[in-house]
A and B are shown apart, each in its own frame.
Chain A
Amino acid sequence: MVEYKHPSNSFSISVPADWTSSENSGYVFLSSPDQNVFVELLAENTVNALDADAFTKTINAIEFNVFSWNKNYTETKREVQADKGYAIITKTLDINTAPFQASTIYEQI
């Protein structure tokens, strides 16, 4: 594993040495050589801290806007601690006709 640090310095993570990365402001896409495994990380400036209700609405918005349009999208697990600003949601969905599993961790800091 090697350390990847986003150019904005807003986050870092260890990744397998043979993975590739591409990034833009606040975002990075990290992928295995065969692209069967990949990770997206992002830091989003929400202007104000989200209270529990806004946090729940926001993660629901992301799940709807980004994931729900994928063919065969099915949410399989949801753990939300809105008062702590933390959630993990797992789903299955098709990407380019192949079945994928995606786990998304949300954390407000």
Chain B
Amino acid sequence: MLYVENYFTTVSGVAKSGPIFTAMDNSFKSNPAYAEDLSPFTSAPFTYTDPDNLYSLSIPALWTFDDANKNGLVITYTSPDANAIIILVKKDLGKTVTRALADSNALDLLKVNSDVRVSKTETIKNGSIKMTWASKPGGVQGVSTYKWSGTTLYYLSWMFNTGFEKSYGPVFDQSLASLQIPE
């Protein structure tokens, strides 16, 4: 259980606020036995907004950001135990994206996991497509969604190692529910 206390004051009010913060911190009492009933990683979400404003969604603040290519095209957020990951992909396909082209490219991105089986495909917010899937050989399962705008495909994937659904299901539900996709 991780407890976080954030104390904010205007810079001009630091001297006045100091004694108040000290008294508050000294009085702070944690009760982790009750905190264990909280859904994992749902207390501290922050909103990630795509730099091109293609979408925004909430992500657990405790998860580690990685932009491997340093170009914002593939971004990952990984849970502290590395059993769950959120992947945000933005791909320029070089020509106007059609539904068929989007489907094909999204499946290619999904198939980086071995022997993926898609159990459900549905249309969700603003025409984006959501796939629920699992990879038994890879020991992972998750949900991916994708949409396109002009020549750009964006693909978001929430995945966790099999057996961690109880831990990460609520996180992904929260993140998916927060997904905002402008028209």
Contacts and interface: CB of A to CB of B under 8 A. Distances in A.
Contacts of B35: 8, 10-11, 26, 43, 45
Contacts of B46: 65-66
Please tell me the size bucket of the interface on A: 35 or more
B43 A26 contact: yes
Contacts of A54: 80-81
A109 B38 contact: no
A46 B8 contact: no
A22 interface: no
A58 B80 CA distance: 6
Nearest to B28: A13
B7 A102 contact: yes
Nearest to A60: B64
B62 to A, nearest CB: 5
Determine the main DSSP class of B at the interface with A: mixed
Contacts of B21: 39, 103
B20 interface: yes
A16 B8 CA distance: 15
Interface stretch (B11-19, B98-106, B122-130): B11-19
Contacts of B41: 44-47
B38 A45 contact: yes
B37 A62 contact: no
Interface in B35-51: 35-44, 46
Contact of A13 (B2, B12, B24, B38): B24
Contacts of A43: 1-3, 30, 32, 35, 38, 43
